Structure formats: structure tokens, C-alpha cells
A and B are shown apart, each in its own frame.
Chain A
């Protein structure tokens, strides 16, 4: 066994153990911490598989933003946690749940084991036509050119998720500011970090977006870093969340998908199909869409974490 194999095996075992620990953890807070660590280790596995783009997304979304979302949920549930723990579930229902989980796991295992060898893949076709867009990063090629429709719909789904979160707010606060106003010690460490980190973080975010054309990175990863910087400033109380009725915020929210849609319709009108880019302008158009997408992704993710409207617009 080579060192690399031993390392991979160790990593896989560690992730499995951590996953079990997260499921079995008693408190919601401990389970969330386990989940964040699990996300970061998973990102490590993606790096071992050579999928750096996926690793970046997993670390940013799976480890970072989902972790913050779940920490918020755990904090909200803290009061009722003792009640939930005290509740006993009937043995019959436990058995059904166990059986259902076992069947699902078994179905997943068999379908993975039954995959034809070699697995059906479009990778050679994508690699063959990579030169068409003159982009150096094959993942960006697939996301923004060959499967651009999926990427566009993904952004629309993000927007729908935000509408879902907003609709959880009470009627009287509709159009009001999102989430609680964070108040922290203005001399404290969090404020210091929120003043020091964003200038560097914004540069890193834009850099990650920009190198996405030729190296791992892109609008989503860059936008997530920008969202994190904005959230840091919001959590330190340096800036308030915008009101959900804010026209400027809403314009930024729809700017990315609109740019995507306009380019797509342009392809229908000038070219052969929806989202068909003219070859000569493919790279410029793709970078243009990604450029429009970065602020949209940053604001959407930031607002998803800020929560539903919780105060009147004035407070």
C-alpha cells in the first residue's frame, strides 16, 4: 500500500466516523459543529479527487454558509431542546425509521456497485470542444457554456429560496429590515475582525471570480466569499441589513439572472438556440454573465442568512 492510498483510506474512514458522530450527537450545537468539520473534510476529499472547483464550493457552502445557517437554527431551538430530548418515540415507529434508512442506504450502495465500467461520461466530448470558448477552466466551460441552462436555473432557484425565507416573516414587517439588528461590544474582537478582514476578503473574492476563467474558481465561489465579508460586517453591527422592500437590493438580486436570460434570448434571436453564444464572443459573454452574477450571488447568500423580515423598515 502506498502512502497516498493509506492517506486516502484514513481520510475516508475519518469522514465516515465524523458523519456517524454528527448523526448521533446529542445536542443541536454539537451536531452543527460536527457538520461543519465534515464539510471541510469533504472538501479535502474533493481536492484528493482533483476536483478543486467542487472543493471550493463544498468548503464555502457546505462548511461555511450552511454551518452558519444551522448554528442560527440551533440557537433558535435551544429553548425547546430539553423538551425534544425528553420525548420518547414508540418502538414501532423507530423500527420503521430504521428500516427505511437501511433500505435507502442499500439502494444507494447497490446502484453505485451496479454502475457500468467504464461509467457513461460526457467528459471526452466536453474536453474535445473545450477550445470553442477559449476558456482554460473545463468546469467553467461546462457550467457556463455546455450546461448553461442548468446554471441559470440554479440561480433562479436561489432567488426562489430567498422568496421562501422572506415569506416566513410576519405580515406587519413585510418590506421591513431582515433579521435581528446585531449589537456587539464596539471595542470587541469581532468588530476588530470585521474592520480588518473585509478589505482583504473582497480582493480575494474578486480574484477567485476572475481566475475562474482559466483556473479553479468562478462567480459562485467568489460571490460566496463576498457574502461572507458582508455577513461579518452585519454580525459585528457595523452595517445593518437592508429592508426587504429596498429597491436597490431587489435590483441587485435580479441583475444576475436577468443578464443570463438576456444573453440566452439573444442566442435565440441571433444564433441557433437559447443560450447559444456566437463563437467569437463566447468568452466575453460568459465573463460578462459571471460578472453580473457575482453581486447577485453575494447579496442572495447574504440575505438568505440574514433571515426573514423581522423589524419595520425604520428601526
Chain B
């Protein structure tokens, strides 16, 4: 087995696993009973789902710079997603959504 096939299998496996986490996160968002548990499901999609997709795409990049860009996108989403979830949760505990 040559390297190209190994890298292809790695990409397919990692991106599929990422897609699975996105699916699970979406199901959780639709099925869970309240705001806090739904947020919990949503952040799993961001953290693990996107992380695995990025991991799977890393062997396909055409250089170190593109790989670093992909990783920093993941880190930014982690940061933004985590903090915005906290903000939504705080406002939900205080008095529900603004409507």
C-alpha cells in the first residue's frame, strides 16, 4: 500500500468521524429539552466535529502555511464557540431568550 492510499483513508476516516459529530450535535440541538443541554450538544459539534474535519484535511494541504491556516480556523471557532455559548447560557439563566 503506498502513501497516497494511506493518506486518503486517513482523510476519509477523520472527515466522516467529524461529520458524525456534527450530525450528533444537530440531533442533540433538536432533541434535548432545554437551553443548557442544547448548547452542550452544539459545542460538541464545533469542538470535535470541526477538529476532526480539519485533522482529516491536513494531509491535503499544499504546504505548512495552509495547514496552519486550517488549524487557526479551528482554534478561532473553539474560542468563539466556547465563549458565545457561555454568554448565551448566562443570559438564559438570567431570564430566558429576549422575547
Is the pair B98, A197 in contact by a Cβ cutoff of 8 Å? no
* In-complex Cβ contact of A29 among B80, B83, B87, B98 (8 A): B98
* In-complex Cβ contact of B83 among A27, A30, A78, A193 (8 A): A193
* In-complex Cβ contact of B79 among A29, A30, A188, A197 (8 A): A197
Chosen A-B contacts, 22 in total, with CB atoms closer than 8 Å, are A27-B99, A29-B97, A29-B98, A29-B99, A30-B99, A75-B98, A78-B98, A188-B90, A189-B83, A189-B86, A189-B87, A189-B90, A190-B83, A190-B87, A192-B83, A193-B79, A193-B80, A193-B83, A196-B79, A197-B80, A200-B72, A200-B76
In whole angstroms, what is the CA distance A78 to B99 when docked?
8
Cβ of B97: which chain A residues have Cβ within 8 Å of it? Answer: 29
Given contacts A29-B99, A189-B90, A193-B79, 18 further A-B contacts (CB under 8 A): A27-B99, A29-B97, A29-B98, A30-B99, A75-B98, A78-B98, A188-B90, A189-B83, A189-B86, A189-B87, A190-B87, A192-B83, A193-B80, A193-B83, A196-B79, A197-B79, A197-B80, A200-B72
In whole angstroms, what is the CA distance A188 to B90 when docked?
10
Interface size class of A (residues with CB under 8 A): 10 to 19
How far in angstroms is the closest Cβ of chain A from B97? 8
How far in angstroms is the closest Cβ of chain B from A27? 5
Most chain-B CB neighbours within 10 Å: which of A29, A30, A189, A192? A189
In whole angstroms, what is the CA distance A240 to B76 when docked?
25
In whole angstroms, what is the CA distance A27 to B97 when docked?
12
Cβ of B99: which chain A residues have Cβ within 8 Å of it? Answer: 27, 29-30
In whole angstroms, what is the CA distance A8 to B97 when docked?
34
In whole angstroms, what is the CA distance A274 to B29 when docked?
56
In whole angstroms, what is the CA distance A17 to B51 when docked?
29
Cβ of A196: which chain B residues have Cβ within 8 Å of it? Answer: 79
In whole angstroms, what is the CA distance A29 to B76 when docked?
26
How far in angstroms is the closest Cβ of chain A from B34? 18
How far in angstroms is the closest Cβ of chain A from B98? 6
Cβ of A29: which chain B residues have Cβ within 8 Å of it? Answer: 97-99
Cβ of B72: which chain A residues have Cβ within 8 Å of it? Answer: 200
How far in angstroms is the closest Cβ of chain B from A230? 17
Closest 4 CB pairs of A and B: A189-B86, A193-B83, A189-B83, A27-B99
Near B by CB (< 8 A), chain A positions 159-203 give: 188-190, 192-193, 196-197, 200
In whole angstroms, what is the CA distance A192 to B86 when docked?
11
Cβ of B76: which chain A residues have Cβ within 8 Å of it? Answer: 200
